[in-house]
Amino acid sequence: MFKLTRLDSENVKSALMDYLVKGYEPNDAALLNGVKQQNFNRALKRLNDIASIVEDIKNHDWERFKKANC
Structural domain spans, the chain: 2-68
Measured torsion, CA atoms of residues 30, 33, 36, 37, in degrees rounded to the nearest 10: 0
Classified as helix, coil or strand, 62 is helix
- 35: pLDDT strictly greater than 80: yes
Average pLDDT, the chain: 92
* Integer Rg of the chain from CA: 16
Say which DSSP state 32 is in.
Answer: H
Mean pLDDT of 12-18: 98
**Could you give the CA distance from residue 50 to residue 20 in angstroms, rounded to a whole number?**
15
pLDDT band at 63 (very low <50, low <70, confident <90, very high): confident
Say which DSSP state 33 is in.
Answer: T
Overall pTM surpassing 0.75 (yes/no): yes
